[in-house]
Structure 1
Amino acid sequence: MQWWHVYPLGALGADTTGQDSTCHHSLKELIPWLDHARDLGLNGIALGPIFASELHGYDTLDYFQIDQRLGNLEDFHALVAAAHERGMKVMLDGVFNHISRNHPLLEDPAQAIENGLVHADNTGQPRAFEGHGQLIELKHSSPAVQDLIVEIMTHWLSMGADAWRLDAAYTLAPELWKPILGRVKERYPDVYIMGEVIHGDYIHTVTASGMDAVTEYELWKAIWSSLNDQNMHELAWTLKRHNEFTEAFLPYTFVGNHDVTRIATQVPAPLTDLTYVILTTVSGTPAIYYGDELDWTGHKEERFGGDDAIRAALPPFPPAPAERPDSYRLLQHLLSIRRRVPELIHSRTRPIAVDGPVIAYVCESNPEGRPLLTVALNSGENAVDVECEGGNLIAHRDAHQNADGIHLGPAGWAILAHTI
């Protein structure tokens, strides 16, 4: 799978301040963008929160109703049907760690605590999530809460959803997810379930919880940090960790999402292209955050409304093929290589040259160890020559093969194929 990750409330221009609950653009209006994503080379749409809430979608009021700012159930069904017609799967965002303080379960806060639905803080009040007073943590050891989550997940799977993202999955002991997800998979054995995990033991989280994957923030950080610092040793170290993860599960990989500064802002051009080369040549399940393929910029700020710049509205229609920017065309080409070499999904990455701003690695089939691609990147300002194994040069910028390997210009990169 290769996902197009969309934050619907932002993409569809909904008000997230609580002042206007009007639906200006419904989920159905994402349908014209499905061909845009499919043409890019993606076969799934991962939706951010779409259930009834007051503000940003992570403050749920009703898990069984579409947020009125995004339309209604008919709009949801239309979007799912259109995605499935195009061979695309649909992932929903399950915000099951916490609910809005105004959720009906908290109509009587003391009763909710007594019934074991939420935790109590040291003052005897419902416990807030990470200091956000509007968000109240659910008590996941409660059978009633577990039953509720199973009911929500299976309800929307019966409505046509194919996958779930578990928001803030890192806050719970993985073992608490096991009985919940086990019951869901008994009814829907093919469902894909991915958890948001930032730090910690990724492998233990997956194996102990029953999730299929977690978000690999380690790789996200290493990609932009190693390029900006011109220190490819950080990336080489992370790729070793990435290989270990791939032995246990397929990591959910990304260079952008709804919670972080846009990659084109984090890693300015021309180095932005190198982030996409890395993302599309290592193992895992890559996701492209909407707008990144259009070279959008945006800085995340730690304040109310600080996410607005990274959650911008889409125009009514995608650009025509002739108007697609270079960033789109590059990603399209890179993802087409990934489809032509499907073994990349489970591959291992072996660094063969690491020197300051320069790295070269071989992507090998797993477990055979057969070379698939050689990738060379130069984040520095000076041209370099990199010794590397042979292959056919199938994609590059400011690079060419020479007698000993590959010549890379400043911010240059190259992909050599051994199998195509």
Structure 2
Amino acid sequence: MLDAQTFDSRDVRCKQPYGAVPAGTRVNLALRPLRTGGFSEGLLIAYFESRNEERLEVPMEWKGMDGDRDVFQVVLDTGDYVGLVWYSFRLMGLDGRQEELGPYQLTVYDGAERVPGWFGEGMTYQIFPDRFRRSRIPDPTGMVGGRTVHQDWEEMPEYRPDARGEVRNRDFFGGDFRGVMEKLPYLQDLGVETIYFCPVFEAPENHRYGTGDYEKIDPMLGTEEDFRALCAAAHRLGMKVMLDGVFNHQGFVSRYFNGDGFYPEPGACQSQDSPYYKWYNFSHWPDKYDSWWGIYSLPAVNESEPSYRDYIFGGENSIVRRWLRAGADAWRLDVADELPDDFVHGIHQAARETDPNAVVIGEVWEDGSTKIAYGVRRKHILGGHCDGLMNYPFRNSLLGYLMGGKAEDFRAAMETIRENYPPFAWRTAMNFLGTHDTPRILTLLGCGTDGQDHDKDWRAAYHMTESQYLLGRTKLMLGALVLFAFPGSPTVYYGDEAGMEGFEDPFNRRTYPWGSEDQTLLDWYTALGKARKELPALRRGDLFWGQTQGRLLTFLRQGEGEPVLAAVNVGLKSAAVEVPWPARDWMTGKELAPGRRLLPPLSGWLLVPRQS
């Protein structure tokens, strides 16, 4: 006798306030069973997970009738608790039967701290530094890692194993900071407000995720002075800079581990008297040690070691503080869920102490509110840790919709995130369709597959047919429209706006095709970037769902400035869209009268009120 209206955590009649709540909130809960069910009593059962699973049972008070429904109410006082509360209900019938509902999730966060809002308002552009732009062909002589440099900017990155059977990623193209400086006007025209760099510190591999020296800009990128100049120039153009902090592991070839003896100072691999020896967990010194996912070239760090903590965030001149002072505005934490919570908190605290407007974004591939790593429920977005997360749930859900799924499934997935995340984390999410860790979004949408049913040589050589490319481009344009209209920072992986293709690493890390961009795509992204920069509703407005049926997705952003309606039809038939006011499509300039208007197949609108 219980139906969906008995309790809906997203219905204000059943739960107030909506979604996650700051500690100290008194949450009003109500059950609304049909009177014909014959229920006489209700009971709330709440588990406070991070308080040793404290269990609370509170009788619910009958408040009378609402139409044909009984109403049982109770108040759940969160007090000073921070963490997840799992709550459920028990209804008792006049005939002695019992019905259970739940469990439901309540996220309780520390709301005492102000989270800077700038990151979630504007567009972010992710740069893989070696492959974006070079100002010259560098000489790798004397650099760590035994590097080679491609003379031709358009060559294929090395992907085959070397003579030792390894793909060592020691081939570079020489992208540098001066090259980025040359293209700052391009980024500004695109609408970029945050430049997110993959790692920039000295490291032996071209991806630089095995850090060699946190204190030194990789010499192929330039100098610390070049970095400072780049940050200053970006700031003058209204852009901020985010760095990639890789603090869970380092390079086998690093000044700290020093596995090949490149650095003059003895590392943990040379001497147990090295100041860095305690940074690693050796099962047999020096050849057996913990490493990231078992990859020997990425020795894992012991994050509980006090000297390492002091070096990364504790000391006055620690790495986190030092590079913020040099001009960075934010940190993205690589594999944040593999860093201890108190380590992440230390980074967050150091960042805020150095710059009250600094932001910390964490790499998490799942719902960050429920993430469990190493048997521990993580505190990523409970306050004082990450200000926002990479929004893989957004990417996965939107990709599913674009590739044949239903709009209502995308809506359901996003409502789960909105309900589970504190408002600051919802608004400060890093939303994207592709990154350096995923196949190029254009290739996925055009081919409909990641190519893993073929060998690597096939994937390396593959280029889409004209029909595949056109389909992929059309779907990418629609996906980008949703991306830029949605709450959170729309993040573009370098070259997606130019039509870059490719499957997994390193094919998704080819060099930017300067002079060969797809102008149709580039114009579309530029228009979206302009919309994100100029329309307050897209920057700070609330989200209201419209039509989400099958292949049609519409939603409204409003609450700041004039409202904006996003409408996307990924179906093969026209769909009727309810246009609420005399409108103009931001993307094409087309004017629409209010009422039911047909949105053609595989097309989208970004509608703003038409000025009379």
TM-score normalised over the length of structure 2: 0.61
Residue 350 in structure 1 maps to residue 548 in structure 2:
no
1:137 alignment counterpart = 300
CA distance in 2, matches of 1:17, 1:108: 18
Aligned pairs for 1:301-320 within 5 A:
307-314=505-512
- The CA distance in 2 between the partners of 1:141 and 1:256, in whole Å, is 33
SS in 2 for 1:270: helix
Name the residue aligned to 2:200. 50
Partner of 1:407: 598
Q: CA deviation at 1:61?
A: 0.9
Aligned partner of 1:254 in structure 2 is 432
Aligned counterpart for 1:294 among listed residues 498, 523, 527: 498
- Cα distance change on mapping 1:24 and 1:334 into 2, 3 Å: closer
2:268 maps to 108
Letter in 2 for 1:105: Y
One of 184, 189, 204 as aligned partner of 1:34: 184
**Structure 1 position 272 matched with structure 2 position 476:** yes
Q: Quick one: structure 1 residues 126 and 208, their matched pair in 2 at CA, closer, same or farther if it must change by over 3 Å?
A: farther
2:403 corresponds to: 228
- SS at structure 2 position matched to 1:133: coil
DSSP 3-state at the match of 1:63: strand
| Structure 2 Cα separation of the partners of residues 340 and 83 of structure 1 | 19
CA change 1:171–1:113 in 2 (3 A) is farther
Shift of 1:400: 7.5
Give yes or no for contact 1:11–1:311 (8 Å, CA) kept in 2.
no
Q: 2:186, 2:289 → 1: CA distance?
A: 44
- Indicate conservation of the 8 Å contact 2:567/2:605, yes or no: yes
Select which of 197, 212, 233 maps to 1:61. Answer: 212
2:533 to 331, 339, 355: 339
Secondary structure at 1:181's aligned position in 2? helix
- In 2, the alpha carbon distance for the partners of 1:261 and 1:75 equals 31
Q: 1:391 to 1:17 in 2, by over 3 A?
A: farther
Q: Verify: 1:178 aligned to 2:340, yes or no.
A: no
* Cross-structure match for 1:98: 249
For residue 410 of structure 1, give the secondary structure of its aligned residue in structure 2: coil
CA distance in 2, matches of 1:246, 1:410: 36
Between stretches 353-362 and 44-53, larger displacement belongs to 353-362
Task: Say which of 120, 128, 138 aligns to 2:291.
Answer: 128
**Which digits, 9 at most, give the CA deviation of each residue in 1:324-345, with x for residues without a partner?**
7121211221222222322333
Instruction: Name 1:205's counterpart in structure 2.
Output: 380
Q: Give me the identity figure in percent.
A: 25
* Greater helix share, structure number: 1
Deviations 1:216-244 (A, max 9, x none): 11001111111102422221112313433
In structure 2, C-alpha distance between the alignment counterparts of 1:41 and 1:318, rounded to whole Å: 19
Q: Which residue of 2 aligns with 1:303?
A: none
d(CA) in 1 for partners of 2:481, 2:525: 8
Partner of 1:217: 392
Distance (Å, rounded) in 1 between the aligned partners of 2:418 and 2:174: 45
- Corresponding letter in the other structure for 1:67: D
**Whole-angstrom CA distance in 2 between matches of 1:390 and 1:243:** 27
- Maintained 8 Å contact 2:246/2:334: yes
Q: Please name the residue that 2:31 is paired with.
A: none
Aligned partners of 1:358 and 1:378 also within 8 Å: yes
Counterpart AA for 1:341:
L
Distance 2:593 2:237 in 1: 43
Shift of 1:89: 1.4
Distance 2:355 2:543 in 1: 33
Number of residue pairs the alignment of both structures matches: 407
Partner Cα separation in structure 2 for residue 78 and residue 27 of structure 1: 9
> Shift of residue 208 of structure 1?
4.7
**Equivalent residue letter for 2:578:** E
1:20 maps to 2:224: no
Give distance in 2, aligned partners of 1:94 and 1:318: 32
Aligned-partner SS, 1:134:
coil
Q: Could you list the per-position Cα deviations for residues 271-303 of structure 1 after superposition, in whole angstroms to 9, with x for gaps in the alignment? A: 111111111111112222111111212211xxx
Q: Residues 128 and 169 of structure 1: is their aligned pair in 2 closer, same or farther, counting only changes over 3 Å?
A: same
- Distance in 2 between the 1:126 and 1:299 partners? 32
Indicate the SS of the match to 1:258.
coil
Question: Residues 166 and 36 (structure 1 numbering): CA distance in 2 closer, same or farther, change over 3 Å?
Answer: same
Residue 365 (structure 1) aligned with residue 559 (structure 2): yes
| 2:281 paired residue number | 119
Shift of 1:8: 0.3
Do the aligned residues in 2 keep the contact of 1:6 with 1:46 (CA within 8 Å)? Answer: yes
Q: Deviations over 1:95-139 (max 9, x none)?
A: 111101232322334837996412346999321111222111112
**Match of 1:54, as an amino acid?**
P
C-alpha separation between the residues in 2 aligned to 1:252 and 1:246? 15
CA distance 1:105–1:273, change in 2 (3 Å): same
Distance in 2 (alpha carbons) for counterparts of 1:419 and 1:239: 29
Contact 1:25 1:71 in 2 (8 A): no
Change (3 A) 1:410 1:32: same
Q: Note the C-alpha offset of 1:419.
A: 8.8
Q: TM-score, normalised by structure 1?
A: 0.87
Q: What's the CA shift string for 1:176-209, capped at 9, x where partnerless?
A: 3112321332122221221111124248412255
| CA distance in 1: counterparts of 2:363 and 2:498, whole angstroms | 25
Write the distance in 2 (CA, Å) between the matches of 1:397 and 1:263: 24
Q: Which amino acid aligns with 2:388?
A: A
- Counterpart for residue 304 of structure 1: none
Q: C-alpha separation between the residues in 2 aligned to 1:23 and 1:403?
A: 53
Are 1:72 and 2:220 matched, yes or no? Answer: no
Mean CA deviation greater in 10-19 or 289-298:
10-19
For residues 522 and 181 of structure 2, the distance between their equivalents in structure 1, rounded to whole angstroms, comes to 19
Superposition RMSD in Å? 3.1
Do the aligned residues in 2 keep the contact of 1:93 with 1:167 (CA within 8 Å)? yes
Deviation at 1:391, TM superposition (A): 4.6
Deviations 1:383-419 (A, max 9, x none): 2223353351323579984664221111011122259
SS of equivalent residue, structure 1 residue 93: strand
Q: Tell which structure's C-alpha radius of gyration is larger.
A: 2
1:68: how far off? 2.2
2:584–2:609 contact (8 Å) kept in structure 1: no
- Specify whether residues 174 and 348 from structure 1 end up closer, same or farther in structure 2 by C-alpha distance, changes over 3 A only: farther
Question: For residues 243 and 343 of structure 1, do their structure 2 counterparts lie closer, same or farther at Cα, with a shift above 3 Å needed?
Answer: farther
CA distance change for structure 1 residues 153 and 205 in 2, over 3 Å: closer, same or farther?
same
Contact 1:32 1:318 in 2 (8 A): no
Deviation sequence 1:342-371 (CA, Å, 0-9, x none) = 2333433232222221122222338xxx98
Q: Does 1:81 align with 2:209?
A: no
Runs of 5+ consecutive residues of structure 1 not aligned to the other structure: 301-306
| Aligned-partner SS, 2:348 | helix
Give me the whole-angstrom Cα distance separating, in 2, the residues matched to 1:253 and 1:387: 27
